[in-house]
Structure 1
Amino acid sequence: MNDGRTPEPRESQETPGLPQLIGDCVHCGFCLPTCPTYVLWGEEMDSPRGRINLMDQHVQGEPMSPPMVEHFDRCLGCMACVTACPSGVQYDRMIEMTRAEVEREHPRSLPERALRETIFRLFPYPNRLRVLRGPLRAYQATGLDRLVRRTGLLERLSPSLAAMERLAPPLSRAPRLPERVAARGGRRATVGMLTGCVQREFFPGVNAATARVLALEGCDVVIPAGQGCCGALSLHAGREEEARAFARRTVVAFEAVDVIVVNAAGCGSAMKEYRALLADDPEWAGRAEALSAKTRDLAEFLVELGPRAERHPLPVTVAYHDACHLSHAQGIRSQPRALLAGIPELAVREIADPEICCGSAGIYNLLQPEAAAELGDRKAASVRATDAELLVAANPGCSMQIATALERQGVRLPVAHTAEILDASLRGCVPFNPGPGRA
């Protein structure tokens, strides 16, 4: 019974299990120093503990007000709090469920809706990104990008559009991979490879390096032509039905392979979540469970496989960046470091406060550009403090975010994926120019 003063808890179909998950939090505060937004602003409602309190208020009947939504929107979903929590609170699951409810209940403004629709009609579709490559290459080649930035016009029109323009990496010709790359030497395994969306079109060299490394380590690499977006951006933004549709397509594309290797941290994290995303779908639950079980990050798989190909020396000092969806979501920290440590003459330097997100967080740097820029500047300063000649990261969003922040600070530091460093060592070449310089 309700006495008219306290709202009844909302055990609705919209938030299955959320009240139970909320109850796991004992409000100890161990999450606070690892939360990027709490570190920036020191506001309780912009911490995991504060957001869980807001979730509880909503479950108890409080409407989804604009200030409440703003605190949820400010969360990066980096999951550093999940790593720090001694009680095993599933904040990652809670924020995804809450964001799905925000998308169902909260009427966003027209500019917000327009921005989000632009993002979600473009980034999860590699073919659309490919069409964008030509005009973007011309824009960069003519120097128009530098002119636009000097005028500050985009910043005045839309900070989100300005962030999107700044984050675009320099583009060159994009090599296209065949559907199968044969193992070199005796075949040790057959693997499927996810090529991704942004990775495929903006960082095609990472995919080419990944395929070469796998082949040199004795793997037949299958690259299904029918693959598309894995649904990571949609899943982490609360667009559940859209994420499920992408997940089903990915399951079909990779069902015939025994292992799936992923070289983008956010994608690997999402694919390992398919078991939860499609758990309530009788037709797909088992198939999603099977796909999640056979998904491996590139570093994770190579360490499991063990090295065979000869590593040639790379006399360079690198700073390794822990992508949140690799370290916190997948618990993969030692494997990339082990791979780098196996390269002769390569020295790895640690970045201070590795648990604090760089501000990329999927599309966070487009939706919350000011906060993302602050976090990017903090991370860039920590990278510079290592005096490394090269930054290594395992996620395209992180690479773009940190490179942009370094440029803001007047530094051009080469950024490479773990796959590219391994590829250079296995082939005995240095495809980058180490050594930081002024922009």
Structure 2
Amino acid sequence: MEHSGTSVLEKTDPPCSSNNLTNYLLKDHPDPHKWADCVHCGMCLEACPTYLETGQEQHSPRGRVHLIKSVAEGKISVNEQFADPVFQCLDCRACTTACPANVDVGGLIEEARGQVRQAVPLKGWKASVSSFFLKDLFPHPKRMNTVSNLLKIYQKSGLQSVVRKTGALRVMPSHLANMEAIMPEVKQSVQKKYKNVNLIPAKGAPKAKVSMLTGCIMDIMFSDINESTINVLTHNDNDVEVPKNQTCCGALHVHAGDRDTGRKLAKQNIEAFEDSGKVIVNAAGCGCALKEYPELFKDDPEWKERAERFSEKVEDISKYLYDTGYEKPKSAINKKITYHDACHLVHGQGVRHEPRQLLQDIPGVEYQEMMNADTCCGSAGVYNITNPEMADAVLDRKMENVPEEVEMISMGNPGCMLQMAMGVQKFGRRSEVVHTVQLLDWAYQKDQQVERDKQKELTTHKG
């Protein structure tokens, strides 16, 4: 660790209460059981993106665990010095995968952030921006649809072209301008398209009925991926429900330390999917958040039990297809493809082999494994907005591992897709960034076109 100046690890403050978690507020404090097994062995260090960039102990997993434990022991307080390393964490969970004792550092970080936001709330413009997005926008589908309509006008009216050609984006912070440059085409949301549809039927005899989380940002910015998810599910004989009263998963709120809003959204989703079978998710961050709902209700036995029943039903689309069986496409996608492991899919949900198998089952795919595929890209929810310099450094390291000759980079999370698209642009690559389920959908569409052509030919001959 660095020894210049006063280290946050060395700062000692007097205890502020007599409870056994001395300097934490009683409400929703970090769970001591999560740090109890950490022996500070250092196996996590090489897995941590922020430690690799800074070399500082307080920006390593074991350093952060030590800090969180030190607050409980009354050695330091929940203050700005404590907040910095806690919020500099990407919450990528790679440390837990590397840890021999499986210490849940991500869970500790999120609980610690909740303590920070209780003790040191945001102020000024930061508080206003956070409240606008996390409380006034993301949880409200109608408002998100308004944003969608405005973005469509921006893209289709020619305004976007004018803004780009005139250089108006130069007045924006560079990381926001870079995001605008790779913004996908906004299309009709799945929630809006199927607002009067109770069930999207399977193409053949139904083998199961599943429900789908559409997400908030996902359904606005990546509705085509939601559409591909429905296509693939129905193609594989699943009836699909899209519950109307579902809402934002709450992942961004929990990452930001707003656990109260996270609980509110969790309750709404638990109720929305209470009568559902499997809950299919195509966004790694959302899926991980849904699976971790019980953590939000550790002090509420009734809701914890309901959250546990709900979380057991949550399944990533790639794992669901792999576990239940899927039709292997016959038509080829002749592309060189590599795969990036979204952190909250590989480390948060343990899904590693399944999406790779889906890709390799598509004829024509020349699959090439990416070195260090399970390292973070720097997206981490909105980390690339709140911590742009560190996010850029992590992205640079990630792009060094992307094989130069690949034509497509596949993954299972929208935030990663935006971040990796910025990396492709920054490094002058020509690779297309795609969601794994899109590739399967495109192959099925080719199969269907082949079948239609055959039927047309048969009809022509009969005529």
TM-score by length of 1: 0.90
The number of aligned residues is: 424
Which residue in the other structure is 2:220 paired with? 201
Give the aligned residue type for 1:405: G
Which residue in the other structure is 1:10 paired with? 21
* Pair 276,18 (structure 1): closer, same or farther in 2 beyond 3 Å: closer
* Pair 217,16 (structure 1): closer, same or farther in 2 beyond 3 Å: same
Is residue 2:428 matched to residue 1:417?
no
Secondary structure, aligned partner of 1:182: coil
* Aligned equivalent of 2:113, options 94, 99, 111: 99
* Pair 82,293 (structure 1): closer, same or farther in 2 beyond 3 Å: same
Q: Superposition pairs for residues 4-403 of structure 1, below 5 Å?
A: 7=15, 10=21, 13-14=26-27, 16=29, 18-61=31-74, 62-120=76-134, 121-140=136-155, 141-142=158-159, 143-147=161-165, 152-155=170-173, 162=177, 165=180, 168-174=183-189, 176-177=193-194, 178-308=197-327, 310-383=329-402, 385-403=403-421
| Equivalent pair of 2:207/2:238 in contact (CA under 8 Å) | yes
Q: How far, CA to CA, are the matches of 1:391 and 1:323 in structure 2?
A: 12
Give the aligned residue type for 1:125: H
Secondary structure, aligned partner of 2:52: helix
Secondary structure, aligned partner of 1:96: helix
Give the aligned residue type for 1:32: L
TM-score by length of 2: 0.85
| Equivalent pair of 1:163/1:366 in contact (CA under 8 Å) | no
What displacement does 1:395 show?
0.5
Which residue in the other structure is 2:460 paired with? none
Larger radius of gyration: 2
How far does the alpha carbon of each residue in 1:327-359 deviate from its partner, in whole angstroms, 9 at most, with x for none? 000000001011111111212222222232111
How far does the alpha carbon of each residue in 1:154-197 deviate from its partner, in whole angstroms, 9 at most, with x for none? 12xxx675566456333345562344211111211110111111
Q: State percent identity of aligned pairs.
A: 37
How far does the alpha carbon of each residue in 1:138-167 deviate from its partner, in whole angstroms, 9 at most, with x for none? 434431442476652112xxx675566456
What displacement does 1:15 show?
5.3
Secondary structure, aligned partner of 1:336: helix
Secondary structure, aligned partner of 1:296: strand
* Pair 430,43 (structure 1): closer, same or farther in 2 beyond 3 Å: farther
Secondary structure, aligned partner of 1:221: strand
What CA RMSD, in Å, does the superposition of the two structures yield over aligned residues? Answer: 2.4
Give the aligned residue type for 1:118: F
| Equivalent pair of 1:160/1:367 in contact (CA under 8 Å) | no
What displacement does 1:5 show?
9.4
* Pair 402,430 (structure 1): closer, same or farther in 2 beyond 3 Å: farther
Q: How far, CA to CA, are the matches of 1:166 and 1:76 in structure 2?
A: 24
What displacement does 1:215 show?
0.5
Q: Structure 1: any 5+ residue segments left out of the alignment?
A: 432-439
Deviates more, 1:21-30 or 1:105-114: 105-114
